[in-house]
Structure 1
Amino acid sequence: MRTQQKAMTSMSVVAVAMMVMNVATYGFNLVAARLLVPAEFGALTALLSLILMANVVALALQAAIARRISVAPQHTLSIVHTASRVSLAVSLAVGAAAAATTVVLTPAFNFSSMWAVVLCGAMIVPLTLTGALMGVAQGTARWQRLAVLFVGNGFGRLIGGVAGLLVDASATSAMAGLAIGAWLPVLLGAGLLTSNAEEEPHSRRPLVFETVTSAATLLAYFAFSNVDALIARGGFEAHDSGLYASGLILTKSTLFLPQFVSVVFFPSLARDSSHRTRLRAAGLVALLGLAVVAGTAVLPDLALILVGGEQYEEIKGDLWLFAVSGTFLAIVYLLVFDALARREGGVAILVWLAAAVVFGVAYTNSIGIVGLVTTMAITAAVLSALLLAWPLLRRSPAPKSDKVTEPES
Structure 2
Amino acid sequence: MTSNAPGAGLRGTTVVAAGMMVSNVTVYGFSVASARLLVPAELGAVTALLGILLIGNVLSLGLQATTARRLAIDPEHQGEVIGVVRRVTVLAGLAGGAVVAAASVVLTPALKLDSPVPVLLCGLTLVPLTIMGAQAGIAQGTEQWQLLARIYVANGVGRLLCGAAALVIDPSTTSAMVGIAVGACVPVLAGLPVLKAPSTPTTAASRRPFITEAFHGTHALLAYFVLSSADSLIARNQFDEHDSGLYAAGLILTKAALFLPQFVSVVLFPALARDTTSRSRLRAVSLVAACCALAVAATAILPRLALVLVGGPQYEEIADRLWLFALSGSCLALANVLVLDALARRAHGVVALIWVAVGVVGGVAYGTDVHITGLVVTVGAVSGVLAAALGLAPLVTRRRAASDRSTTPH
Task: State the TM-score, normalizing by the size of structure 1.
Answer: 0.84
Would the aligned equivalents of 2:216 and 2:348 in 1 still touch at CA under 8 Å? Answer: no
Give 1:50-89 correspondences, 5 Å limit: 50-89=52-91
Q: Which moved more, 1:219-228 or 1:284-293?
A: 219-228
Q: 1:97-137 deviations in whole A, cap 9, x for unaligned?
A: 33344455556656566554444333221111000000000
- Matched to 1:59, the amino acid is L
Would the aligned equivalents of 2:51 and 2:232 in 1 still touch at CA under 8 Å? Answer: no
Partner of 2:13: 11
- Percent identity reads 52
Query: Are residues 73 and 56 of structure 1, via their aligned partners in 2, closer, same or farther at CA, if it must alter by over 3 Å?
Result: same
- Matched to 1:26, the amino acid is Y
Say which of 197, 222, 243 aligns to 1:219: 222
- Matched to 1:61, the amino acid is L
Q: 1:360-405 deviations in whole A, cap 9, x for unaligned?
A: 345555556555444433322221111011122223999xxxxxxx
Would the aligned equivalents of 1:81 and 1:195 in 2 still touch at CA under 8 Å? Answer: no
- Higher share in helix: 2
Say which of 152, 157, 160 aligns to 1:158: 160
Would the aligned equivalents of 1:164 and 1:173 in 2 still touch at CA under 8 Å? Answer: yes
CA distance in 1, matches of 2:45, 2:234: 20
Task: State the TM-score, normalizing by the size of structure 2.
Answer: 0.84
C-alpha displacement of 1:18: 1.7
Verify: 1:392 aligned to 2:359, yes or no: no
CA distance in 2, matches of 1:349, 1:159: 39
- Matched to 2:146, the amino acid is Q
Would the aligned equivalents of 2:101 and 2:123 in 1 still touch at CA under 8 Å? Answer: yes
Give 1:143-154 correspondences, 5 Å limit: 143-154=145-156
Would the aligned equivalents of 1:328 and 1:380 in 2 still touch at CA under 8 Å? Answer: yes
- Matched to 2:226, the amino acid is A
CA distance in 1, matches of 2:270, 2:289: 20
Say which of 179, 182, 188 aligns to 2:181: 179
Partner of 2:405: none
Give 1:347-358 correspondences, 5 Å limit: 347-358=350-361
CA distance in 1, matches of 2:371, 2:104: 36
Would the aligned equivalents of 2:35 and 2:311 in 1 still touch at CA under 8 Å? Answer: no
Would the aligned equivalents of 1:81 and 1:193 in 2 still touch at CA under 8 Å? Answer: no
Q: 1:292-336 deviations in whole A, cap 9, x for unaligned?
A: 222233333333333344555554444433333222211100001
Partner of 1:301: 304
Would the aligned equivalents of 1:324 and 1:377 in 2 still touch at CA under 8 Å? Answer: yes
CA distance in 1, matches of 2:326, 2:26: 23
Q: Which runs of 5+ in 2 are unaligned?
A: 402-410
Partner of 2:404: none
Partner of 1:407: none
CA distance in 2, matches of 1:273, 1:65: 19
Would the aligned equivalents of 2:48 and 2:233 in 1 still touch at CA under 8 Å? Answer: no
Verify: 1:262 aligned to 2:258, yes or no: no
Partner of 1:97: 99
CA distance in 2, matches of 1:170, 1:312: 19
- Matched to 1:303, the amino acid is A
CA RMSD in angstroms comes to 3.3
Say which of 268, 279, 282 aligns to 1:279: 282
Would the aligned equivalents of 2:224 and 2:354 in 1 still touch at CA under 8 Å? Answer: yes
Would the aligned equivalents of 1:261 and 1:281 in 2 still touch at CA under 8 Å? Answer: yes
SS of the counterpart of 1:395? Answer: helix
Number of residue pairs the alignment of both structures matches: 397
Say which of 119, 122, 125 aligns to 2:124: 122
